[in-house]
Amino acid sequence: MGEVIKLDLKKKSLRDVNSVLQNLDPKSNLRNYLISNPSGNHAVCAGLKDEMEVTVKGHVGYYCAGMNQKALVTIEGNVGTGVAENMMSGKVHVKGNASQSAGATAHGGTLVIDGDTSSRCGISMKGIDIIVKGSVGHMSAFMAQSGNMVVCGDAGEALGDSLYEAKLFVRGSVKSLGADCEEKKLTKKDLELLTSLLKKGNIKNVKPKDFKKYGSAKKLYNFNIDNVSEY
């Protein structure tokens, strides 16, 4: 694992800590960081663009690890709104619960949440894999364009409202489906994808066949007067 560089947010400003992480010496092999005393700060680990491992010991506020590229960020606590928002690649692992809009607009990479998430998880997701070991709140995957969402628990109201090509897999109950979202047949290819995603999330003793798949009915792709009530 190599040397771990410690960054204490009681001793350094958030701006200074993020600056260290955003401006790594490309010739240096020092790529392991430990952030202590985050104390609910917002935008911790925002804008990382290099391969590195960062562990945050505690709870963080809004937009943690936003715009992440290549980095592996682990938060040993709960996170506020918009964790991994607009992430491009890499991995963000939340060991607690997440507030609303987790993984919003993210284009790639993997977001793993060990606990539950609030509303709008995966809103407008554009290629990310989101794996939630608990449950998600209402309007999750709203306008989701592409990527995959795996929910081992339950989903709240209006799941997948107005979604496009994203695939949603839910093991528990769904309170209601959003406009143009419908249950789909779970194919062999889906089971293989689920197996891969569960492995990504280090989820064991859960069978892919226990999930239900949801996707777009594709009635809202083009305006149709017969579907006007859905808009």
Domain that holds residue 78: 5-230
Give the per-residue pLDDT at 28: 87
Collect the ranges in the chain with pLDDT lower than 70: 1, 221-231
126 burial (CB, 10 Å; 0-12 / 13-18 / 19+) is buried
Give the per-residue pLDDT at 100: 98
* CATH code assigned at 15: 2.160.20.60
Reported pTM: 0.94
Give the per-residue pLDDT at 226: 65
Tell me how many degrees the CA angle 175-150-154 measures, rounded to the nearest 5. Answer: 25
Give the per-residue pLDDT at 224: 65
| Antiparallel, parallel or unpaired: β 212-216 and 181-184 | antiparallel
Give the per-residue pLDDT at 220: 74
Q: What is the pLDDT of residues 104-129, one digit of tens each?
A: 999 999 999 999 999 999 999 999 99
Based on the structure, what is the number of domains in the chain? 1
